Amino acid sequence: MSKLTRRTRSAVLAGLGAAAALSLLVACGGSGGHGGTASKDKDVVSINSPSASGASASASAAAESGRPQLRVDTTDAERTRLYQIWTDCLHDHGVPAGHKPGSTAWSIAGDITKYPAATTACLPKRPIEPPEEDPAKNPHYMDDFRAYIKCLNDGGLKVKGLSDGSGWNYDGESSLTQAQESRLDHDCEVKAYK
């Protein structure tokens, strides 16, 4: 894993698994903020598009009303729980999924863009990422992103932020455990994106 984002990393560390995290958060456009793809929610018409106007803007607002809104300080456990509700819905609507050994939680096994009816039906359960992590909604995003990267490095996780603010790459070895990295990542995000 070279390029990681807070959401992808949290999902991986919280137990969704790398394949599920990438399927759920990257293939379904749940990126933005710290990374992944530059365009959030590409598989859903106009959900978080800053250029949405007219009918698209009202469709976007209607689609987002009632969806769970994540906060910067949302715990990894709560984030995982909310994404699991969405994953359960996708599975109930025919998206292939399986269980990790020892888990009863579903992990999406394929590309959900191949299941537009399920994507549409489950959209009301799909969490909305914090607006502070969206460059289109946060006018101070790059300053916050730089503070986030500095905090990670100061805490012992050696990373280098990507110049466009879309994520980071490891930049050396860390003596931190996965649990310590996860805690540091969460604490730095809360501190930087306040």
Does 124 or 57 have the greater pLDDT score?
Answer: 124
Average pLDDT rounded to a whole number, residues 163-186: 92
Is the pLDDT at 144 greater than 50? The verdict is yes
pTM greater than 0.85 (yes/no): no
Contact status, residue 120 vs residue 126, Cβ threshold 8 Å: no
Does 164 or 7 have the greater pLDDT score?
Answer: 164
Measured at the alpha carbon of residue 84, what is the angle toward residues 81 and 89, in degrees to the nearest 5? 135
Please give the pLDDT value at position 97.
85
In this predicted model, what pLDDT tens digit does every residue of 150-163 receive, in sequence order? 999 999 999 999 99
- Phi/psi of residue 168, nearest 5 degrees: -150, 160
Q: How many CB atoms lie within 10 A of CB 36?
A: 22
Please give the pLDDT value at position 132.
94
